[in-house]
Amino acid sequence: MAELDEVIHQSTRLRIMAALNVLKKGEWVEFVRLKALIEASDGNLGAHLDTLARADYVEIDKQFVGKKPQTRIRATVHGRHAFKQHVTALRNLLEI
Amino acid sequence: MLNKQEAEAALNQIEQTQRRSIELIGYWRSGIYVQIWGVVWIVAYMGSYFLPEVSNIIWLICNGFGVTATAILSLRDRNNAQQEKRLAWAMVVVASFGLLVSYNLLAHRPGTLPVFWTCLIMSAYILAGLWAGTRWIVLGAAVIAISVATYFYFMPWFDLIMAFAGGGGLLLGGTWMARAK
C-alpha cells in the first residue's frame, strides 16, 4: 500500500517534484528554468531544494559556464519512485 | 492524515504544474529550431532581393542548410516526448501537401508561391499551437499577416520585407519561446 510522503507533501516541494518528473530520466534543468516552471522565488526554491536533496530526492549540481555560476537540478531514481508512490497514495485517498 | 478534498487539491496542483511544465519545456526545446529557420529566411530572402536571377538556387542551398540543421538537432533530441514527435509529423504532412500543390495544382504566377508557402508553413505553426501552446499560434498568425499584407500592398519589396519582418519575426519568436516563463 502506497503511503503519503511527508517530504514531498509540502506544496512547493510537490510542485518541484511534479515538474522534475516531466523531464526525461537523468535530464537536468537549470535553477532559473525550474523557478519559471513552479513560479517560486529564488530563496523559497533554494530552501525546498535543499530539503529534497537531503532526502536524496533531487541532485543539485553547481558549476561554472564561462565565468557565470550555473545550478542544475534533476530528480534521482529514488525521488521519482517516491513521487510516484505519493501520487498513488493521493489517488487511493480519493477512492476511500 | 489528509482528507479527500486536500488529496484532490494536491492532485490538481500536480496536474497544473505538469501541464505548465510540458508547455514551457516544449517551448525551450523548440525555440532553437525556429531560430534556425529565422536565419534561413533572412539569408534566403535577402539573397532573392539582391540576386533575383539565382533566387531558386539560393533557396535550395538555404533550405538544405535548414533541413540539415533541423535533422541534426532532431537526432540529438531523438528521445523527445511523444508530443514533440506528433508536432514534427504534423509539419511533415503539411510540407508534403505543399510540395504536391506547388508542382501540380497551383498556377505559377509571380509572387504567388512565396506567399502560399509562407501561409502553409505558418498554418502548421498554428496547428502545432493547438497542442503545444498559444505562442505557436501567435507566431504563425503574425507571420501570415505580414506576408499577406506585403503581397497585396508592398509586392516590389516582398523579399526585403520578408527578410526583416518574416525572418526577423521568426528569430524574435524563437527567442520569445526559448525564454518563455
| Chain B positions in Cβ-Cβ contact with residue A13 (cut-off 8 Å) | none
- A4, A18, A36: residue with CB nearest B2: A4
Is ipTM over 0.85? yes
pLDDT in tens, chain B (181 residues): 788 899 999 999 999 999 999 999 989 988 999 999 999 999 999 999 999 999 989 999 999 999 899 888 887 776 555 556 667 767 776 776 777 666 655 555 667 788 888 888 888 888 888 778 889 989 988 998 898 888 888 888 888 998 998 899 899 999 998 888 7
Burial (Cβ within 10 Å: 0-12, 13-18, ≥19) of residue A77? exposed
Find the farthest-apart pair of alpha carbons in chain B and give their distance in angstroms, rounded.
76
Q: Which cell numbers hold the place of B72?
A: 541534426
End-to-end CA distance of chain B: 35
Q: What predicted TM-score, i.e. pTM, was given to this entire model?
A: 0.77
Tell me the C-alpha distance between A44 and A55, whole Å. Answer: 17
As a dihedral over the C-alpha atoms of residue B103, residue B49, residue B119, residue B175, rounded to 10 degrees, the angle is: 130
Tell me the C-alpha distance between B108 and B122, whole Å. Answer: 21
A87:B181 CB<8 A: no
> Domain segments of chain B: what residues?
17-178
- B4, B21, B181: residue with CB nearest A93: B4
Nearest to B130 by CA among B176, B90, B179: B90
Stretch A34-51: mean pLDDT: 94
Strands (E), chain A: 29-30, 58-65, 68-75
| Chain A positions in Cβ-Cβ contact with residue B20 (cut-off 8 Å) | 37
As a dihedral over the C-alpha atoms of residue A26, residue A32, residue A34, residue A38, rounded to 10 degrees, the angle is: 180
| Chain B positions in Cβ-Cβ contact with residue A91 (cut-off 8 Å) | 7, 11
A contact set with B (CB within 8 A): 4, 9, 11, 14-15, 18-19, 21-24, 33, 36-38, 87, 90-91, 93-94, 96
Tell me the shortest Cα–Cα distance from A22 to chain B, in angstroms.
Answer: 6
